[in-house]
Amino acid sequence: MSRGVIAVYPGTFDPITLGHEDIVRRSSRLFDQVIIAVAVAHHKKTLFTLDERLELARDTAGRYDNVSVEPFEGLVRDFVVARGGRAMVRGVRGVVDFDYESQLAGMNRNLAPDVETVFLTPAATLQSISSTLIREISQLGGDVAPYVAPLVLERLLAKRSRA
């Protein structure tokens, strides 16, 4: 039985934001199956552990029948190919993101010619959101409720109270 076109949406998701969710929602309408691939991210110091980031991503994925969540480490290309993916979804907020993401897409095309990179922009009201800004604003006591799901907000507030 064919599973249709599989797309992978990779990232650190530290934390997952409503901007990410907007990309997930729209990807779920474009592809038969979407895998949110949460990077182990050995190269980054993350606020949330891998298990916490997986839980928060699964909370988002649970809203969509054709979206699942898996961890990955190493080259995303290897993960996509191993899952039978035909597309890699990348969110692009502006020209700086596009410049970086187009370089990655070119390299990924060299590494995995059968996998297409699809760029999606979040809704205009969500384009200024980044996980980095969400972490910083939250840690400094700012209100990030308009930018994250309730469970993410709860976890951010818990991290802030322990800091």
| Active-site residue flag, 26 | no
Structural contact between residues 127 and 19, judged by C-beta atoms closer than 8 angstroms: yes
The structure tokens 């606020």 sit at 47
| Active-site residue flag, 90 | no
The whole-number pLDDT of residue 6 equals: 97
Exactly one of 20, 77, 83, 155 is catalytic; name it: 20
| Active-site residue flag, 93 | yes
pLDDT tens track of the chain, all 163 residues? 457 999 999 999 999 999 999 999 999 999 999 999 999 977 778 999 999 999 999 999 999 999 999 999 998 999 999 999 999 999 888 777 777 788 877 887 887 889 899 999 888 898 888 999 999 999 999 999 999 999 999 999 998 877 6
Exactly one of 3, 42, 44, 63 is catalytic; name it: 44
**Single-letter code of the amino acid located at 30:** L
| Active-site residue flag, 44 | yes
Exactly one of 27, 28, 131, 138 is catalytic; name it: 131
Exactly one of 93, 109, 159, 160 is catalytic; name it: 93
The whole-number pLDDT of residue 163 equals: 62
